[in-house]
Amino acid sequence: MPLPRLIPCLDVADGRVVKGVKFQGLRDVGDPVELGAAYSDAGADELVFLDISATVDARVSAVDVAARVAEQVTIPFTFGGGIRTLDDATAVLEAGADKIGVNSAALARPELIEELARTLGSQAVVVAIDTEDGRVRSHAATRDAARDTIEWARECEQRGAGELLVTSIDRDGTQNGYDLDLLARLGAAVSLPVIASGGAGNAQHIAAALEVSRAALLASILHERPARLITLRDELRDLGVNLRDAR
Amino acid sequence: MKVAICRYGAGNVRSVELALGRLGAELVDDLAGADVTILPGVGSARSAMAGLTERGTDVVLRERHAAGRPILGICLGLQLALDESEEDGGVPGLGLVPGRAVRLTGERVPRIGWAAVEPGGDAFWFAHSYAAETEATVATSEGVSAIVEHGSFTGVQFHPEKSGVAGARFLEQCLSRG
């Protein structure tokens, strides 16, 4: 199997990286290209940009963000948020992204996964699953999607998804550790790569998740500070995790 | 150094363009006359092959290979250069390299991530569900064909254009042979 992957996640709105402060509004924390390049230099294996812009106009600029990132960043990146059609996905990939992420749009119309995989290839299609108590949540986890998480994961695989990005909503932002039990059950249910998300508080948490899933999304633990990724990688190496030599 | 990229509707052209630009290559449209011609590709073998034949690119590539002019195939571009792929129920390839593309049998498919390529030991970015089965393999990654060489054709299963410093080094070496 390929090396374990550390994947910083950046939330983007209106072309800027933002940070939510307890749902009380968004704070501007930097330029997506600058932060992405800094994470890449700090040893990130991939990047995920999640567009959380509220309006369609702002999403048009998402393609522009993907294009600017591709000019400066020479590691793979995934772009998610607001992708509803094959045309949306194609525009982002043509701008230089490697994969697209879909979530609510795939729940609303699961055939979308097949359409994307058939044209773009499975390797470019990441289905993001937000889950709580074994059930799938949609629309930024605000609604019950009326689906069992394991069953939905299997359906995504059958429809041609290339990876699953699984966020445990009840762990997200808590820094109490990943939901290892859920990750193990998902890993047994599908043969796709699974990216663990939600709950990373320290290097031990990440090392434990990488044992089960081989890929971990890093969000709040990094606090938008690429320097934290450098120390985390050192700590993980000390724990015996075989990370890529990024030089 | 004049480099041409095959544009046939099968993706990731922009990343390849950017990577070549960073190395100072001059991008040209003339697939036959360039110093090096690059066959990129992601997506499904059948639609990619159809894209090549519709544009007559298959003919240009065969002529170029017969004349001993350098071609670099990346990912699906490598798989299309083989005799056939077992993807989509079987798709005939360009036949530049003897062999076939077969479905991966690893624990997790697609095989996605950074993995070391031997000999050499550098890690490169892989994202694939099929791989070459060919005697032209000159480097492997975890038992999977990673680099193929046959005549003037070089094929890589990984994505040098997305493989950071190691990828840029590799592309630079490829161009220096053109």
A246 part of a folded domain: no
Q: Hey, which residues does A8 pair with through a beta bridge?
A: A218
Residue A66's pLDDT is what? Answer: 94
Residue A247's pLDDT is what? Answer: 62
Q: Are A35 and A17 in contact (CB under 8 A)?
A: yes
Q: Measure the CA angle with vertex B73, ends B69 and B79; round to 5°.
A: 125
A57 part of a folded domain: yes
- Provide the strand spans (E) within A63-214: 77-80, 99-102, 125-132, 135-138, 143-148, 163-168, 194-197
Q: Flag whether residue B165 sits within 8 Å of chain A, measured between CB atoms.
A: yes
| Closest CA relative to residue A247, chosen from B36, B4, B91, B166 | B166
The enclosing domain of A19 has a CATH number of 3.20.20.70
Interchain contact, A98 vs B167, CB within 8 Å: no
User: Could you tell me the two tokens for A22?
Assistant: 């307890």
Q: Flag whether residue B42 sits within 8 Å of chain A, measured between CB atoms.
A: yes
Which residue of A7, A72, A90, A98 is the best one to mutate when testing the B interface, meaning the one whose CB has the most B CBs within 10 A?
A: A98
Residue A174's pLDDT is what? Answer: 83
What type of residue sits at position B1? M
Q: Which of B7-11, B47-51, B75-79 has the highest mean pLDDT?
A: B75-79
Q: Which residue in A74, A95, A191 is closest to B167 by CB distance?
A: A74
Q: Hey, which residues does B84 pair with through a beta bridge?
A: B92, B100
Interchain contact, A119 vs B111, CB within 8 Å: no
Residue B106's pLDDT is what? Answer: 85
The length of chain B is: 178
Interchain contact, A246 vs B165, CB within 8 Å: yes
Q: How many CB atoms lie within 10 A of CB A231?
A: 12
A243 part of a folded domain: no
Q: Where are chain B's structural domains?
A: 2-176
Rounded to whole angstroms, the Cα distance separating B156 from B73 reads 6
SS3 content of chain B, % helix, strand, coil (to 5): 30, 35, 35
Residue B122, pLDDT > 70, answer: yes
Give the residue on A whose Cα is nearest the Cα of B168. A74
Give tens-digit pLDDT for A174-214. 889 999 999 999 999 999 999 999 999 999 999 999 999 99
Question: Chain A, 23-62: which have a CB under 8 Å from a chain B CB?
Answer: 40, 45
Q: How many CB atoms lie within 10 A of CB A211?
A: 13
Interchain contact, A163 vs B129, CB within 8 Å: no
Backbone angles phi, psi at B155, to 5 degrees: -125, 140
Q: Provide the shortest C-alpha distance from residue A124 to chain B (in Å).
A: 8
Q: Which residues of B touch A95 (CB under 8 A)?
A: 14
Q: Provide the shortest C-alpha distance from residue B80 to chain A (in Å).
A: 15
Could you say which of A14, A51, A130, A179 is catalytic? A130
Residue A59's pLDDT is what? Answer: 58
Residue A84's pLDDT is what? Answer: 92
ω into residue B110 within 30 of 0, thus cis?
A: yes
Residues of chain A falling short of pLDDT 50: 23
Residues of B marked active site are found at 75, 159, 161
Q: Are B87 and B101 in contact (CB under 8 A)?
A: yes
* pLDDT band of B44, cuts 50, 70, 90: confident
Residue B178's pLDDT is what? Answer: 67
Residue B123, pLDDT > 70, answer: yes
Side-chain-facing half-sphere of A53: CA atoms under 13 Å:
22
Rounded to whole angstroms, the Cα distance separating B104 from A111 reads 25
Dihedral sign, Cα of residue B90, residue A78, residue A90, residue B6: negative
User: Could you tell me the two tokens for A106?
Assistant: 């795939």
Q: How many CB atoms lie within 10 A of CB B107?
A: 11
Q: How many domains does chain A have?
A: 1
ipTM value? 0.95
Radius of gyration of chain A (CA): 17
What type of residue sits at position B12? N
Residue A57's pLDDT is what? Answer: 61
Q: Provide the shortest C-alpha distance from residue A144 to chain B (in Å).
A: 29
First to last CA, chain B: 8
Give tens-digit pLDDT for B83-115. 999 998 999 999 999 999 999 998 899 999 999
Range of the domain at A54: 5-238
The dihedral formed by the CA atoms of A192, A193, A199 and A200, expressed in degrees to the nearest 10: 170
User: Could you tell me the two tokens for B143?
Assistant: 């038992």
Q: Which fold has domain B2-176?
A: Rossmann fold (3.40.50)
Residue A55's pLDDT is what? Answer: 61
Q: What is the mean pLDDT of chain B?
A: 95
Question: Chain B, 75-114: which have a CB under 8 Å from a chain A CB?
Answer: 76, 106-114
Give tens-digit pLDDT for A9-41. 999 988 899 886 554 577 888 999 999 999 999
Residue B82, pLDDT > 80, answer: yes
A244 part of a folded domain: no
Interchain contact, A74 vs B126, CB within 8 Å: no
| Closest CA relative to residue A123, chosen from B93, B46, B9, B41 | B41
Residue B10, pLDDT > 80, answer: no
